[in-house]
Amino acid sequence: MARKRILSAAAALVFALGVVAPIGASADKKKEEAVKFEFDKDMVTETKEPALSFDGSAYKDYIHLTRDAKKGGISFEQDKDSSYQGVSLKVKSETDGIDGWFCGSEYVRDKEGNFIYHDTPEVEDVDSFSYVGIELHCEDFGLSTFDGCLFNFAYRLTSADQGTLLGDTVWVYGADDDNIRRSDVLQLTANDTFDDNINQYRSNALASIAENAGTSKLIIDMPAQKAINGDVLYIDNIYIALPDSAGGGYIANVDDYNANAKVSEIVDEIKIEKQKNDTTIADKKIEKQKDTTKKRITVFVISIVGLAAAGGVFAFIKLKKRFY
């Protein structure tokens, strides 16, 4: 057991070093072939607004699964119950049946050159890493490349990430069409203490792409090293700022941003607020039912009194005729 933990830790270190290490000569070569930054003027605004807010249904056209997302059972949907503002995106993972591997585990061998993780999916594909997560494509936002862009978004992780994601961390970075990393890595590490990002949203996540980096996509990578069955990541309000060399500005919102929705960072407060709203709605319904019942009772009583009065008059007339 101890040996297995040591090997697992060593494997994690190997992968972590591989992801966080400088991009190196291959990136320099790529820079020489970098695509000229061009943009669709109709998709750019001077007003700071999120390109993706997840408030409308159009977001589905802009969020893509990574190449190996099916290995990690990745799926996503809108979330209103614990959203940052209006509606957030919830990313889930169901990894039953593929326990014992993690992103990049097909690279990890022991000192004799044998694979440590024999049950890694597509273990023969040793020329590329496994990319499990979601990604954004530059062309969807009217851009020829993400080079020089700055991404800012709100996010929170979950307790399910601790001990299941490699380093308890989600990786965010720019890549080219071949999924080769072309930018520095933003590490979002699950933490429920001082910098709590599990019980509350963090709104200042920044992923910067250097100019001439050769990126065409932004990958949000979720390296599972053991089975995960549940929510992995919540994300909201993704801003895409254009480089100053292109005149600045922001990619305009594409999915019906609700700017009037309240911003809430603390999850418990969000849930309490939702419960209050639900309770208020329920109270209003009960109050309405009470008012309706009161009105019905009042009408009924008036009707009874009216009938009684009418009956009394009728009886009086009959008696009068009988005795007088």
pTM for the model: 0.73
Q: Label residue 194 by pLDDT band (50, 70, 90).
A: confident
SS3 76: strand
Kindly report the three-state secondary structure assignment for every residue of 231-242.
EEEEEEEEEEEC
Of 10-14, 72-76, 227-231, 253-257, which gets the smallest average pLDDT?
10-14
First to last CA, the chain: 112
If you ran DSSP here, which 8-state letter would residue 67 be given? T
* CATH of region 2-264: 2.60.120.260
Contact status, residue 138 vs residue 146, Cβ threshold 8 Å: yes
Residue 123 pLDDT greater than 60, yes or no: no
Query: What confidence score (pLDDT) does residue 294 get?
Result: 56
pLDDT digit string (tens) for 215-260? Answer: 999 999 988 777 778 999 999 999 999 999 999 999 999 999 999 9
| Better-predicted residue by pLDDT, 193 or 27 | 193
Contact status, residue 140 vs residue 62, Cβ threshold 8 Å: yes
Residue 4 pLDDT greater than 50, yes or no: no
Work out the percent of the chain whose per-residue pLDDT is above 90: 48
Contact status, residue 143 vs residue 37, Cβ threshold 8 Å: yes
Q: Label residue 298 by pLDDT band (50, 70, 90).
A: low
pLDDT digit string (tens) for 50-65? Answer: 999 999 999 999 999 9
Of 41-50, 141-150, 193-202, which gets the smallest average pLDDT?
193-202
Instruction: Tell me the C-alpha distance between 206 and 211, whole Å.
Output: 16
Of 42-51, 94-103, 108-117, 194-203, which gets the smallest average pLDDT?
94-103
Q: How many CB atoms lie within 10 A of CB 167?
A: 19
List Cβ neighbours of 65 (8 Å cut-off, separation of 6 or more).
Answer: 74, 133, 134, 135
Spans of all domains in the chain: 2-264, 266-324
Q: Label residue 14 by pLDDT band (50, 70, 90).
A: low
